[in-house]
Structure 1
Amino acid sequence: MSAQVAVVGSYNQDHVWVADRLPAPGETRLGRYHTGPGGKGFNQAVAAARLGAQTLFIGALGEDPAGEHAMDLAREYHLAMRVQRPPGEATGSAAVIVDGQGRNQIVVAPGANAVLSERFVRGQAEQLRAAHVVLTQLEVNTAAVETALALARSAGRITILNPAPVDAGVSAIALSDTDILTPNETEFAAVLAAQRGGPVAGEGVATLGDDELHALCRRLGVPTVVVTLGARGCFVSHADGQLRGDEATHYRIAGEAVEAIDTTGAGDAFNGALAAALALHPGRPFADAVRLANRYAALSTERPGAALAMPTRAEFQARYGG
């Protein structure tokens, strides 16, 4: 059976330290430690699968215990896997520091993710062309990302690019095969600067007027841009004539009231949930999918971890119904 959502992206083994506050440069702080599965691609795939979408993860793992752990987890989550195992490359890893307010600092060592090959992704063309939605990010080789988007777009599938992390290929990535771009504030400013020389700072994005922010989104040439704004919710911008069932070209959706303890995987939760909603409910207005994704991401911050923090469909329905 074909996947409804295909995610091309990264797997990282997360090493997480929790302290009362983030350390200053040169400072040592005491805290608590745990490890678990992460990586933007894997987090997003788990989110989509837990919401009930038949999901395929395409990525790269090392021939090491962390890679085997990822394969075991995928079976547990009923997540289909197509995985390249490049010789001599370790499974990706990430160091995550979380403070008492749920804010985080992250450093990623890409390992096998960095060499996910264009050829390997082309080998998954049949699966990518059959999926309803193809979602990818920038935590793997940029050529592999562009290949996945092009294959899906050529078959008329919905393509979503989450341009994260911000320092990984933003200036090099082509946006021509992207239907929906999903940056956060910092990523939006970086993409705008790299692609169009945009004069906006990340910290100021949320405070821009709706018309001004919509005009900046339209400069990117992508049919739909969704800027996630953390606790402030998100902003949606459509090109004229491509409203995806919505009534307006641009609008905001407010943030949800939650007791956040860890925001590490919130952006990934949003993207995975958005892809799942679009695949599972193709006839509904786009705003419905964004509202679901916004709520799902908020709920994910109420528990620690990344992939393991993704709520199940039952947990989501218990909070929000539907």
Structure 2
Amino acid sequence: MSSQARSKKAKQAAAQVVVVGSYNQDMVWQGARFPQPGETRMGRFFSGPGGKGFNQAVAAARLAARTGFIAAVGRDPLGDNAAALARSENIDARWQLCSEATGTAAIWLDGAGQNMIIVAPGANALLSPAQVLAQRELIEQARVLLTQHEVHPVASLRAIEVARAAGVTCIHNPAPSSDSPQVRALLQAADIITPNETEFCDLLRLFEVEVNEQALAAADAAQLHTWCRMLPTATIALTLGAAGVFVSQASPAGEDPPFFRTPAAAVNVVDTTGAGDAFNGGLAASLASAPGRNLQQHVAFAVQVAGCAIESSGAAQAMPTLAEVERRFTG
């Protein structure tokens, strides 16, 4: 067998999607409405696994993409639980064990499924470039790399640099918004970015373009495309909640248009907490597992995944399987 054939065989057996990102234990309080400052309200509590990185890795794995995960957790029971959960989801997790506590997130949900979140990153902030580079082979053999803003930005940047050098498609989810000086470099290095409305406006401000969310909501497709082209990433998938997704491309492939909209899935909203992570995991899984699809089809699939996720409570627990997505939308 030639070295090229061996390399191809190894890539087929390796992780198709590699996520470099966060693990958080989610602590969720749900009530009919959010309390006002100084107000106490009754509600209910539940806890489960989360973190943008882990949610996205679970989404990709449940959609039948072989998935690797590079992350940091504390030497504590929550970290032990994270490792067990990754194994149960058939995720090839590569953990950096830290002295800081495993990350946590406090999530408030109202009766309409809207959320407010505070994240304590803990060990996530200590994910090191050295840990990422130690997993170079895992990244190089993947088809898609997915990163976010919940770990040290230099670690994400190193992962993208390794992936780009190996010809791996790089998706960067610039969430939550960050004022790190590495953000510009991350935007330039990624093939695709996936901001929501708030994150998109914050990114534009880095380039001295002032747009608010109200103007964004009122803009037509041509104006959205103009704003997208002010950022240095080739493809932007702007998630707009109930308004769906707007995609802008610098160099469309095949018959793909330079920009297009994909409507949101018609679903019964229960909990929007993991919607963006479901979309990102779905997009990564589709790009990795179904290379014959065009970008419009990849995005439409990711929107369906997000739609399924918000019909259930929780973050990682709400990520749907491939069978569930197919049954929900094609069954």
How big is the shift at 1:26? 2.1
Q: Which residue of 1 aligns with 2:258?
A: 249
The code of the aligned residue for 1:69 comes to N
Task: Establish whether residue 231 from structure 1 lines up as the match of residue 251 from structure 2.
Answer: no
Q: Secondary structure at the match of 1:176?
A: helix
How big is the shift at 1:168? 5.8
Contact 1:164 1:183 in 2 (8 A): yes
Deviating above 6 A after TM superposition, structure 1's stretches of 4 or more consecutive aligned residues are none
Q: Which residue of 2 aligns with 1:38?
A: 50
Contact 1:13 1:66 in 2 (8 A): yes
How big is the shift at 1:181? 0.6
- Given candidates 96, 118, 142, the residue that maps to 2:153 is 142
How big is the shift at 1:246? 4.2
How big is the shift at 1:170? 7.4
| 1:60-116 superposed Cα distances (whole Å, 9 cap, x missing partner) | 011111111111111111111011002x21100000000000000000000000010
- Given candidates 163, 180, 184, the residue that maps to 2:196 is 184
- Given candidates 293, 313, 317, the residue that maps to 2:322 is 313
How big is the shift at 1:245? 3.7
Q: Secondary structure at the match of 2:146?
A: strand
How big is the shift at 1:298? 1.2
Q: Which residue of 2 aligns with 1:294?
A: 303
The runs of 5 or more residues in structure 1 that have no matched partner are none
Q: Given the two structures, how large is their TM-score scaled by the length of structure 1?
A: 0.96
Cα distance in structure 2, aligned partners of 1:247 and 1:177: 22
Cα distance in structure 2, aligned partners of 1:151 and 1:203: 38
- Given candidates 266, 290, 298, the residue that maps to 1:281 is 290
Percent identity reads: 51
Contact 1:92 1:108 in 2 (8 A): yes
Q: Secondary structure at the match of 2:171?
A: strand
The code of the aligned residue for 1:283 comes to G
How many residues get paired?
Answer: 318
The code of the aligned residue for 1:183 comes to P
Cα distance in structure 1, aligned partners of 2:188 and 2:243: 29
Cα distance in structure 1, aligned partners of 2:142 and 2:267: 33
The code of the aligned residue for 1:139 comes to E
Cα distance in structure 1, aligned partners of 2:100 and 2:179: 19
Contact 1:7 1:136 in 2 (8 A): yes
Q: Which residue of 1 aligns with 2:67?
A: 55
Contact 2:153 2:182 in 1 (8 A): no
- Distance change (3 Å), C-alpha of 1:203 and 1:7: farther
Q: Given the two structures, how large is their TM-score scaled by the length of structure 2?
A: 0.94
CA RMSD of aligned residues (A): 1.3
